Structure 1
Amino acid sequence: MNNYPFGSNSPKSFNAYPRGDFDLESGTIKRIRRPRNSSFYPIRMIKSFANRLHYYYKLHPLLVFFISLSFGVTILIVLSLYEHHYRMLSNYRKLDDGFNINYPFAKLKNLVMVAGHSVYTSSSCGKVDKEDSWFLESYQKNPGQAATFLAHIKEGIEITARDGEALLLFSGGETRKDAGPRSEAQSYWTVAESKGWFGKEESVKWRSLTEEHARDSFENLLFSVCRFRELTGTYPHNITVVSYDFKEERFAHLHRSAIGFPESRFLYTGTPASTSSKEAALKGEALVRIQFQQDPYGCSGPLKRKKVGRDPFHRSIPYPNGCPEIEGLFRYCGAAPYPGSLPWAL
C-alpha cells in the first residue's frame, strides 16, 4: 500500500472549496472583502475635497475666494512669527558662538538704573553737595539742586544693597560741551566713591558700573538694558529706575511701554526736586511728556534735536552690538508700539 504525504505538494491534495466563507443555509460562498489600499486613500480624500471646493466655488465664488485668502494670510503670519521668534532666539546666542565668553556679572538678575542729570566738574570731591561743583543748565541753578543728585545716588546704592542679585548702573553720557568730555554716569560713580558708597561699599561697589552714552530719559532706560545684557549675558528680570518723583509717569508708563517691558516687573523710585525748582520742573515735565506721547522713541522732531544737542563730542553709540536680540527696537521709529518680539516678553 502506498502512503502519500499530505500537503500542498501531495498528488492527493486539492482545494475542496473555493476561498471564502461557505454559508450552509444558502449554499453559497461569501467572498472575503478586500481592504482598501491605504496608499490611495489620502489621494482620494484630497480629490474629494478639491471637488467639493470647486463645487462651492461655482456656487459662491467670492466667499470661497475670501476664505481661501484669509487662510493663506493666516498661514503666512504664523510662519513669519515663528521665523522671527526662531531668529531672535538664535541671535540670543550670537555673541557666544565660537567664543568661550565668561560674563563678569552672569549671576546678577535685576537692574537698578540711576538716571544722570548733570556732570560733576569740581577737581575736588569735598564739595559734592555744592551747586558750583556741578555743571548746571539755567533751569537747574536752584538752591538744593546738588543735594537732589546725591539723593539719587544714595537711593540707587541702598536699593542695590537690599537686593543681592541686582546690578547698579549709573546712566548718562557726555551731554554738556562746556563740562568737557566727562559723562554724567562717571560723575555719579565718582561721587559715590567719594562718599564711601554711603556705608555699602563692600556689598555694592563691585556690582556698580556705568552706561555712558544716553542722551535722554528714554535712552537711559533702553541703553541700560543693553548694557546689562553686555555685562550679564542676559536681560534683566526686574528693573528699578531711580530719578525725580515727577518723572514717574514718563519712565514707568511711557518709556516702559515703549520697550514693552512687563509692568509687574518694573519699579520706580522717585525723590523730590528742590523746593525752589518744583513748580518750573512740573511745567517742563508736562511738556516733555506730551512730546514722548507723540514720539515714544524720541526719533524725530524736538526730541531728536534735543538728543543731537546733547552729543557735543559726536560719540559713536556702540549699541545694539552688545544686545543683538533687540536690534529692531533700536532701529524702530514710530508712534505705535514696537511690533517685533522682545526677549522679556517671551
Structure 2
Amino acid sequence: MLPAPVSFARRGGFRRSSNALNQRRIDVLLSRARITNLGVLLLCAATALSLLYNISYWFSSRGVSNGDSQAPWSITDTIERDASVQHLSHLVVVPGHAIWKGANPTVIMNEDDWILESYQKGGGRVNAFYEHIKGGVKLALEDPRALLVFSGGQTRPASTFTEADSYLRLAIESSLLPQGFLRATTENYALDSYQNLLYSIARFHEYVGRYPNYISVVGYEMKRERFEDVHRKALRWPPERFQYIGIDMEGHSGIAMQGELTNALIPYRKDLYGCHPPLSTKRRNRNPFARYHSYYTSAPELAGLMDYCPETGSNAIFDRPLPWDYL
C-alpha cells in the first residue's frame, strides 16, 4: 500500500521550517561578523589612543612651556628667574668693540690691557669704550625697569673672554656696578652690530622671560645712522620705542667716519641682514672658536628672523610676524 501523499500544508510547513533555519544561520553568521567588525574598530581606537598618548608623552617629556618659548625640561629645570627681573621692560644695549684683559681698573686706559685691532690703537678708542660702558650703566641705574646687556662674542683668538664678559667685568672691577647686580648681564655670541641688536633682544627674553617694550643703545655717535636707520629698520622695531645714545672718541677723526661708511654703513645698506659677503665673511673671521647661540631654544619666535637672508640685491624686509608687532 502506498503511503499517503504529503499534504500541501505540510509541504509548506516544511519549507517554512527550512527557511527559518537558514535565516537563523544567516543571522548568526551576520551577528558574528558584526561582533568581529566591532572588535576591529575597538582595536583601532585603542591603538590610536595609545599612539596619541605616546606622542603627547614624548613631547611633554622633552619640552615644557617657558613663558612664550619652548625649551627642553633639562634646560628649564635649571632656571628660576629672580622676582626682581621679571617686571623689566627696557633693554639697554652696549655693543662690545674689544676685550679688556686687565686686572687693575686704575689703569683702564693702558692699551696693553686691551686686545685691540691695529686700527683701534691710538686715537682715544679705549676711552670711548669705557664711556660706552659708563653710559649704559647710568641708564640702567636710573631706570628700575632696565636690563643692561653688554653684547659681543669671543671674537679674538688671543683671549678666551668674550667682549661682553670683559665689559661687565670692567664695570664691576671699576665699581660702576655693585657685585651681584642682577639687572646687568651679557650676550656672548654677537659678531657684528646687527647681531648686537638682534641677539640682545633674544637675550632679554632669555633672561627676563618676555620681550622688551623699549630699547636704548649706547655706542659710537658715528654709528647712529647704522643703528637707527638700518638695523632697527631690518628688525622692524618701532622708531618711537628706540633711542640711540652716541659717544665718540675725543678728537673724532674723519678717517674713522670714512671707515664707518666704507666698511659698515654702505655694505649694510646693500645687505640689511649681513648675510652676504663681505659682511658674512667678517662674521666668520670673528668666530675663531666656532661658537653659536642658544636663542633658537630660548627665543624661538625669532628663529625665522635669525635665519632670514634675502637674495643678493633683493634687500627685502622680513615680513613675517614678530613679537613686538603686538606690544
Q: TM-score scaled to structure 1, two decimals?
A: 0.69
Residue 120 (structure 1) aligned with residue 100 (structure 2) = yes
For 1:336 and 1:188, locate their aligned partners in 2 and report how far apart those are by CA, in whole Å.
35
- Asked if the contact 2:71–2:298 (Cα under 8 Å) also holds between the matched residues in 1, the reply is no
Task: Name which of 219, 236, 242 aligns with 2:218.
Answer: 242
Q: Secondary structure at the match of 1:234?
A: coil
Per the alignment, residue 93 of structure 1 pairs with 68
Change (3 A) 1:175 1:157: same
- What amino acid maps onto 1:176 in structure 2? R
Per the alignment, residue 178 of structure 2 pairs with 201
- Asked if the contact 2:135–2:218 (Cα under 8 Å) also holds between the matched residues in 1, the reply is yes
Per the alignment, residue 296 of structure 1 pairs with 272
The equivalences for 1:43-82 within 5 A come to none
Shift of 1:96: 7.3
Per the alignment, residue 326 of structure 1 pairs with 302
For 2:91 and 2:324, locate their aligned partners in 1 and report how far apart those are by CA, in whole Å.
13
Per the alignment, residue 222 of structure 1 pairs with 198
How many residue pairs get aligned? The number is: 252
Residue 233 (structure 1) aligned with residue 209 (structure 2) = yes
For 1:91 and 1:176, locate their aligned partners in 2 and report how far apart those are by CA, in whole Å.
34
For 1:252 and 1:189, locate their aligned partners in 2 and report how far apart those are by CA, in whole Å.
25
Show structure 1 runs of 5+ residues with no match.
Answer: 1-89
For 2:308 and 2:261, locate their aligned partners in 1 and report how far apart those are by CA, in whole Å.
25
Per the alignment, residue 260 of structure 2 pairs with 285
- Asked if the contact 2:66–2:209 (Cα under 8 Å) also holds between the matched residues in 1, the reply is no
Per the alignment, residue 308 of structure 1 pairs with 284
The equivalences for 1:137-286 within 5 A come to 137-178=117-158, 180-197=159-176, 201=178, 205-275=181-251, 278-286=253-261
For 2:235 and 2:187, locate their aligned partners in 1 and report how far apart those are by CA, in whole Å.
18
For 1:331 and 1:255, locate their aligned partners in 2 and report how far apart those are by CA, in whole Å.
15
The percentage of counterpart residues that share the same residue type is 38
For 1:306 and 1:219, locate their aligned partners in 2 and report how far apart those are by CA, in whole Å.
12
For 1:115 and 1:290, locate their aligned partners in 2 and report how far apart those are by CA, in whole Å.
20
Per the alignment, residue 40 of structure 1 pairs with none
Change (3 A) 1:91 1:257: farther
Which stretches of structure 1, 4 residues or longer, exceed 6 Å deviation after superposition?
96-101
- What amino acid maps onto 1:95 in structure 2? Q
For 2:301 and 2:182, locate their aligned partners in 1 and report how far apart those are by CA, in whole Å.
27
Task: Name which of 112, 130, 142 aligns with 1:132.
Answer: 112
RMSD value, Cα: 2.1
Change (3 A) 1:93 1:128: same
Change (3 A) 1:293 1:102: same
Shift of 1:123: 4.2
For 1:301 and 1:128, locate their aligned partners in 2 and report how far apart those are by CA, in whole Å.
35
For 2:155 and 2:299, locate their aligned partners in 1 and report how far apart those are by CA, in whole Å.
23
For 1:207 and 1:322, locate their aligned partners in 2 and report how far apart those are by CA, in whole Å.
19
Shift of 1:282: 0.3
- Asked if the contact 1:131–1:145 (Cα under 8 Å) also holds between the matched residues in 2, the reply is no
Show structure 2 runs of 5+ residues with no match.
Answer: 1-64
For 2:257 and 2:210, locate their aligned partners in 1 and report how far apart those are by CA, in whole Å.
36
Change (3 A) 1:160 1:123: closer
- Asked if the contact 2:150–2:187 (Cα under 8 Å) also holds between the matched residues in 1, the reply is yes
